[in-house]
Amino acid sequence: MKKIEAIIKPFKLDDVRAALSEVGIAGMTVSEVKGFGRQRGHTELYRGAEYMVDFLPKVKLEIVVADDDVDRCVEAIIETAQTGKIGDGKIFVSGVERVIRIRTGEENEDAI
């Protein structure tokens, strides 16, 4: 099993969720986060004064999937979240040793 963490632009969330649903992903965790990468924030003007916005709003998706589903999920996220502009985000894939569904006690792929 693998955990896919994707950090994307907030306005892309609905499109990514729909694309993941089409490839068979039924559940995910979504968090509102702030951060920056190479874009290093930007400057804005407020009441005539310019100030630096260091942390930009992003959305973080967390999905645990079977090993066979990883490539389809990653491709779906890339195809729908990509704008071609700086700040599109990142995808991290890492291993998951064990999953337990609290309600039933099911484990691993049965618990996904």
pLDDT along the chain (112 residues), means of 10: 96 96 93 81 66 81 95 96 90 96 91 84
Report helix angle 13-22 to 70-81, nearest 10.
150
Maximum Cα–Cα distance across the chain:
59
Helix (H, G, I), strand (E, B) or coil at 47: coil
Q: Which CATH number characterizes residue 103's domain?
A: 3.30.70.120
- pTM given for the model: 0.83
Helix (H, G, I), strand (E, B) or coil at 77: helix
Q: Which residue type does 29 have?
A: T
Taking the C-alpha atoms of residue 90 and residue 104, their distance in angstroms, rounded to an integer, is 34
Look up the domain containing 37 and give its range.
2-111
- Domain tally, the chain: 1
- pLDDT at position 45: 65
